[in-house]
């Protein structure tokens, strides 16, 4: 690495920076003017459906794909100019385990350490260290093809950490894992962040982004359609709502009138006969729940069920990504 690159790196606080990245494959625009900033020591979650461009963006940032236009730097190194140097500074765990299935877990890690330039002794030490940390010690000598899905993913993650990377890229790290393995993976990621690693992860799962990411970037059709903290994204889309279930239509109409008189804006949605009718009332604060209950009391309507519901990230995601927006709870007004 050149001196200037080193100096530049020292000054870097944004560890991943992408500016106007566009990537076309033939006529398909996989990425369309994507910009992104990830400060050092934080987790950025890239959220999107299949085909939204998440993997392409990760591939651009990890030097695997050359962007059609735009610039990106990771740890202060340009992804195109300094590609080879950069590769020793990042770790990538993809959607599919990138390990040699024939080799044992131990041999896999040694291979990577040696290719990174470690001596045989250093490589063995590092492999031992990682296998222990990831609970793979027992299976260390077995070929990777005998590993379970969760073990394979852990080995893969260990493989991407061999070189003490500055930035860790996790492309759908929990896709295809069973719930226990998923939670184990989350805990590992949380630990990595506590250690001060910078992480960029992609996911289709909102709960995952919600739990792990400091900042969420929503991608759809190659474009960034929203970015912010989980809370700010929720605030963009939804308010809290009081949801009432009512026995029949007359009840629902009386309830709606009463709530409207109380200065709120209820929506009645036609629900199937058995479940009765639902009334949703957007509210500003939780004390508004009391106002709703009083309004119902005034007209002597007793709801079957009553709940205060927080906006979910799912709502945000669906609303922003142009997915199926008309979920049953917020359909037509009566």
Size of the site for another protein (CB under 8 A): 62
| The pair of three-digit structure tokens given for residue 220, joined into one six-digit string | 């759809």
**Residues of this chain, 2-21, that bind another protein according to CB under 8 A:** none
Q: Which stretch binds another protein (CB under 8 A): 189-197, 244-252, 289-297, 323-331?
A: 189-197
Asked if 196 is part of the footprint of another protein (rule: CB under 8 A), the reply reads: yes
Q: Which CB, 41 or 228, lies closer to another protein?
A: 41
Q: Which CB, 98 or 331, lies closer to another protein?
A: 98
Asked if 59 is part of the footprint of another protein (rule: CB under 8 A), the reply reads: yes
Give 92's strand partners: 169
Element at 29 (helix H, strand E): strand 28-39
Residue from 38, 79, 92, 205 binding another protein (CB under 8 A)? 92
| The pair of three-digit structure tokens given for residue 204, joined into one six-digit string | 């289709």
On whether the CB atoms of residues 176 and 120 are closer than 8 A, the answer is no
Give CA 31 to chain center in angstroms: 18
On whether the CB atoms of residues 175 and 168 are closer than 8 A, the answer is no
In angstroms, the Cα distances linking 214 to 44, 46, 168 are 6, 11, 15
Asked if 84 is part of the footprint of another protein (rule: CB under 8 A), the reply reads: yes
Give 274's strand partners: none
Q: Given CA atoms 269, 241, 237, 172 in this order, what sign does their dihedral have?
A: negative
Query: What single-letter DSSP state applies at residue 121?
Result: H
Q: Shortest approach of another protein to residue 36 CB, angstroms?
A: 19
Distance CA 267, CA 256 (A): 8
Asked if 160 is part of the footprint of another protein (rule: CB under 8 A), the reply reads: yes
Asked if 182 is part of the footprint of another protein (rule: CB under 8 A), the reply reads: no
Residue from 3, 13, 50, 195 binding another protein (CB under 8 A)? 195
Q: Which CB, 90 or 255, lies closer to another protein?
A: 90
Residue from 40, 49, 71, 254 binding another protein (CB under 8 A)? 40
Residue from 98, 204, 221, 331 binding another protein (CB under 8 A)? 98
Distance CA 115, CA 103 (A): 15
Over the window 120 to 159, marking each residue x when it contacts another protein by CB under 8 A and - when it does not, the resulting string is: --x--xx--xx-xxxx-x-----x--------------xx
Asked if 89 is part of the footprint of another protein (rule: CB under 8 A), the reply reads: yes
Give 31's strand partners: 23
β-pairing, 223-228 vs 215-220, is antiparallel
Asked if 306 is part of the footprint of another protein (rule: CB under 8 A), the reply reads: no
């Amino acid at each position: 690495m050149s001196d200037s690159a080193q100096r530049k790196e020292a000054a870097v606080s944004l560890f991943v920076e992408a500016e106007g990245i566009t990537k076309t494959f033939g006529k398909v625009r996989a990425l369309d003017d994507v910009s992104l900033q990830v400060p050092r020591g934080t987790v950025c979650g890239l959220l999107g459906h299949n085909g939204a461009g998440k993997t392409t963006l990760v591939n651009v940032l990890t030097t695997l794909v050359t962007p059609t236009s735009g610039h990106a730097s990771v740890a202060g190194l340009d992804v195109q100019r300094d590609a080879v140097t950069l590769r020793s500074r990042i770790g990538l765990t993809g959607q599919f385990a990138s390990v040699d299935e024939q080799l044992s877990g131990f041999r896999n890690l040694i291979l990577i350490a040696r290719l990174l330039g470690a001596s045989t002794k250093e490589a063995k030490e590092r492999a031992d260290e990682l296998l222990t940390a990831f609970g793979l010690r027992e299976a260390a000598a077995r070929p990777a093809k005998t590993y379970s899905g969760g073990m394979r993913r852990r080995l893969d993650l260990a493989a991407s950490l061999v070189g003490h990377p500055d930035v860790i890229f996790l492309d759908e790290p929990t896709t295809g894992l069973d719930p226990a393995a998923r939670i184990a993976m989350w805990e590992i990621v949380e630990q990595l962040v506590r250690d001060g690693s910078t992480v960029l992860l992609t996911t289709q799962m909102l709960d995952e982004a919600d739990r792990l990411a400091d900042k969420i970037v929503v991608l759809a059709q190659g474009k960034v359609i929203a970015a912010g903290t989980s809370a700010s994204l929720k605030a963009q889309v939804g308010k809290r709502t009081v949801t009432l279930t009512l026995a029949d239509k007359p009840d629902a109409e009386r309830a709606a009138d009463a709530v409207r008189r109380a200065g709120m804006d209820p929506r009645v949605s036609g629900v199937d006969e058995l479940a009765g009718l639902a009334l949703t009332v957007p509210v500003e604060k939780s004390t508004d729940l009391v106002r709703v209950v009083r309004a119902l009391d005034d007209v002597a309507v007793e709801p079957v069920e009553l709940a205060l519901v927080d906006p979910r990230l799912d709502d945000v995601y669906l609303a922003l990504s142009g997915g199926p927006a008309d979920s049953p709870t917020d359909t037509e007004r009566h």
